[in-house]
Amino acid sequence: DADVTQTPRNRITKTGKRIMLECSQTKGHDRMYWYRQDPGLGLRLIYYSFDVKDINKGEISDGYSVSRQAQAKFSLSLESAIPNQTALYFCATSGTGGNTIYFGEGSWLTVV
Amino acid sequence: RKEVEQDPGPFNVPEGATVAFNCTYSNSASQSFFWYRQDCRKEPKLLMSVYSSGNEDGRFTAQLNRASQYISLLIRDSKLSDSATYLCVVKLGTNAGKSTFGDGTTLTVKP
């Protein structure tokens, strides 16, 4: 089983709909992240959390929100999805030293 | 200017070739450096950290040049299985909030 699990793996949704991407990890890490990847643009950080009570905006947080429900769970929400949020989304974790980042398998989101 | 910039690629090389990728970073306070590998439509995975003295892992060698603010990755004796996108990653420090990823360089190794 994967150490970092994302659900759903694929989703097509309509403009204006609310969508939640969920992430859980079994690595026991405190730090969790949500990244977005678009073709040719690399990985961009949406939000990150150092522990359950810590939430920080990344470089592209507009239009997104997150919830850290427990050490092992970090969810990403699109309150009102728009087509330019169509992308591949990765959840990731790292330990306190934060050097190695472990990614989930990704969630493909298409907004039509 | 982007915080982390990589050779645009793509690199198409024959098996057995030696290929090198460069990555430049803009923040001179950056402390930690890494190369990640990403296969098509898969998640990135750590390939190797980059140490000040340079480091080698089999056919892969990573170098850091702090004065010129760049890191490099050298792949010797390329294999078909090396075909992937290689991402340069830079952090300000061990406890820094985030890692900054380059856009990646795509390598295709051909028979």
Flag whether pLDDT at B99 surpasses 90.
no
Measure B11 CA to nearest chain A CA, in Å. 15
The whole-number mean pLDDT for each consecutive block of 10 residues of chain A, a chain of 112 residues, reads 91 97 95 91 91 92 96 96 96 84 96 97
User: pLDDT tens for residues B54-75?
Assistant: 899 999 999 999 999 999 999 9
Instruction: Report chain B's mean pLDDT, rounded to a whole number.
Output: 92
Residue with tokens 């306070």: B29
Tokens (6 digits) for A17: 């709909």
Cβ contacts of B17-20, under 8 Å, gap ≥ 24: B17/B78, B17/B109, B18/B74, B18/B75, B18/B76, B18/B77, B18/B78, B19/B74, B19/B75, B19/B78, B19/B107, B20/B72, B20/B73, B20/B74, B20/B75
Measure B73 CA to nearest chain A CA, in Å. 18
The answer to whether the CB atoms of A43 and B44 lie below 8 A apart is: yes
**Nearest residue on chain A to B96, alpha-carbon basis:** A98
pLDDT, position B1 = 76
Measure A109 CA to nearest chain B CA, in Å. 13
pLDDT, position B101 = 92
The answer to whether the CB atoms of B46 and A100 lie below 8 A apart is: yes
pLDDT, position B8 = 76
Nearest to A89 by CA among A56, A43, A55: A43
